[in-house]
Structure 1
Amino acid sequence: METKRVLVVGGTGYLGQHLLLSLSQIKDNAPYDLAFTYHSNSNLLQPLLDAIPQSLAFHVDLVTGDGFQSIASKFGLPHVVVNCAALSVPRVCEKDPDAAMSINVPNSLVNWLSSFEERDTLLIHLSTDQVYEGSWPNFAILRSSIIFGPQTISPVPKSLPIQWIDGVLSKKEQVEFFHDEFRCPVYVKDVVTIILSLINKWVIEGKQMKLLLNVGGPDRVSRVQMAETVAHVRGYSTSLIKQVSASSVYRGSLIAS
């Protein structure tokens, strides 16, 4: 049986690294050949390759599509593509809207997949609460809430929610948190488990899918409640948590989940 090839787009990102590590540790029925793409986080590359030496890394520009052909020639056409690449900070998106559109609506990736003679590659796309039209025949779109969990093998520069809350409260200074904006934060390893289950369903059962899944945790909480939980666990005074309305802060015209 042919070993299945899995490509993680945005493999040096937070979710991408956690997913690659879990894929590399599978030893039962379906070990995978692994490859991942990177772009701006090249400084994160070597620690990740050291930890997962069986994986291949490819520099890919999602705006232009440059780099995809190198994957095809050196790794082969993937059986599964998991797209973890995204620009999710509103200010960053507004600063470069063309890049934000090209990355968050991955036309270059879909165009590359569409060039395959057999269009049965499973595309798993991590989305925010913005969902875009498309015609790919075999896909699962996961709309996640706030993803939290431990730092990655190669620490990402992106601010992680729980680590950020811990850091600001540790300074013993009052910090503002929204009391009227609610999310269902989801543990990163739960998201990975969902992705692995979808991959296994395709690889083992061979059934094409067209899925749109909301991926959230079991609890509906505000930013204040998240901060209070961190404060209780870490022993900080909850008096440091100043409750404000989400409408009182301008965060750009794009809203990220």
Structure 2
Amino acid sequence: MMGRKRVLVVGGTGYLGQHLLQGLEKLQTKPYDLAFTHHSNNPPQPLTDAISPSLAFRIDLETGHGLSAISEAFGQPHVIVNCAALSVPRACEMNPSAAMAVNVPHSLVKWLSSFTETPLLIHLSTDQVYEGVKSFYKEEDETVPVNVYGKSKVEAEQYISINCLNYAILRSSIIYGPHTISPVPKSLPIQVARSVLNQKDKVDFFHDEFSSDYTIKNVVDTYFVFMSKLICAKGRHMQLLLNVGGPDRVSRVQMAEAVASVRGHNSSFIKPVSASSPSVNRGVKSPADISMDISRLIQVLDVTPTSFIDGVRLTLASS
């Protein structure tokens, strides 16, 4: 695998996909040719302008339609970053067949298995594969998802590990950071907390749901490390499963308190409530504590994740 590498970002118009594409475009030395996929009729113009001359391809992950066009126009990618997913737990609960069809990458894996060289598949999974009954889950802990979204991601991990030779599966916590260049329907937790606290009225936040929230910059940097490892791999394959999160176990109350502290809001507007309260009905069961042990991430990639409070400062400074 000599010369320039071809990198394909699947789901390039989503939150992570846009930030990753922009990060790749801004690299001083770019040993990559870049392409991305989208599901809508046309990719957003602000994004395509920002990362020009990258190629955009419309594909359907359920059927695989459009993947062959990538091979013909772009060539066989050396790296496929799969950010595409039906990732709203309630939407997955309402349509489990769609969640399984999109989140388990059958067509994508079948396509890359036809390549003449073995590509690296970097697949975004989730902390919701864990049951949520303890703190700081390790990668080897049993996966007991409590909702359809988590179940679809467990099935995806199993499918990839059986059918791929060269992969990195990243179990991501909640990703937060600045807005994307083109708006996405995803709710951004820090911006939402800032908005409701600006209203100067009491707002409910869960005090008993915990995660290891991770900044978008840290996530993008993690992907860069994997791509660098590919360049240095000289034909060697990797088969990695990593928890990808921040160093802090954070509740929604603590998240709001961090926003209030950075922005100078009155923290008395933050009303702690229990996620298990009878008055709370989100239409889907949510794991209570899916904080993760990230020691393997730090050891394998030699990274230093940003603390939550510093991540909040960076996010609000750029908003």
TM range (shorter): over 0.9
Corresponding residue for 1:204? 232
Could you tell me how far apart the structure 2 residues matched to 1:97 and 1:72 are?
A: 31
Deviation at 1:254?
5.3
Corresponding residue for 1:10? 11
Q: Is the 8 A contact 1:102 1:108 kept in 2?
A: no
Deviation at 1:173?
2.2
Deviation at 1:155?
2.0
Deviating more after overlay: 161-170 vs 221-230: 161-170
3-state SS of 2:55 partner: strand
Distance 1:213-1:65 versus aligned 2 partners, 3 A rule: same
Could you tell me how far apart the structure 2 residues matched to 1:255 and 1:192 are?
A: 26
Deviation at 1:177?
0.8
Corresponding residue for 1:143? 171
Identity of matched residues, % = 63
3-state SS of 2:44 partner: helix
3-state SS of 1:163 partner: helix
Listed one character per residue, the Cα deviations across residues 109-139 of structure 1 (whole Å, up to 9, x for unaligned) are: 1111122233x10000000133331221100
Could you tell me how far apart the structure 2 residues matched to 1:245 and 1:55 are?
A: 46
Q: Is the 8 A contact 1:4 1:79 kept in 2?
A: yes
Letter of the structure 1 residue corresponding to residue 182 of structure 2:
S
Q: Is the 8 A contact 1:148 1:162 kept in 2?
A: yes
Corresponding residue for 2:139? none
- What 5-or-longer segments of structure 2 have no aligned partner? 130-153, 291-319
Letter of the structure 2 residue corresponding to residue 230 of structure 1:
V
Say yes or no: does 1:223 pair with 2:265: no
The 5 A counterparts of 1:1-257 are 1-28=2-29, 30-40=30-40, 45-118=44-117, 120-129=118-127, 130=129, 131=154, 132-134=157-159, 135=162, 136-206=164-234, 207-248=236-277, 249-253=280-284, 255=286
Could you tell me how far apart the structure 2 residues matched to 1:71 and 1:10 are?
A: 14
Could you tell me how far apart the structure 2 residues matched to 1:53 and 1:154 are?
A: 15
Could you tell me how far apart the structure 2 residues matched to 1:220 and 1:91 are?
A: 24
3-state SS of 1:109 partner: helix
Distance 1:228-1:44 versus aligned 2 partners, 3 A rule: farther
Deviation at 1:253?
3.5
3-state SS of 1:246 partner: coil
TM superposition score normalised by structure 1: 0.93
Letter of the structure 1 residue corresponding to residue 19 of structure 2:
H
Structure with the largest fraction of strand: 1
Q: Is the 8 A contact 1:8 1:81 kept in 2?
A: yes
Could you tell me how far apart the structure 1 residues matched to 2:106 and 2:261 are?
A: 44
Could you tell me how far apart the structure 1 residues matched to 2:104 and 2:179 are?
A: 27
Could you tell me how far apart the structure 1 residues matched to 2:197 and 2:62 are?
A: 38
Distance 1:114-1:255 versus aligned 2 partners, 3 A rule: farther
Letter of the structure 2 residue corresponding to residue 36 of structure 1:
F
3-state SS of 2:84 partner: coil
Q: CA RMSD in A?
A: 1.7
Deviation at 1:44?
5.3
Letter of the structure 1 residue corresponding to residue 55 of structure 2:
L
Could you tell me how far apart the structure 2 residues matched to 1:122 and 1:63 are?
A: 21
Deviation at 1:232?
1.5
- What 5-or-longer segments of structure 1 have no aligned partner? none
TM superposition score normalised by structure 2: 0.76
Equivalenced residue count is 254
Could you tell me how far apart the structure 1 residues matched to 2:264 and 2:15 are?
A: 27
Q: Is the 8 A contact 1:44 1:155 kept in 2?
A: no
Deviation at 1:43?
6.3
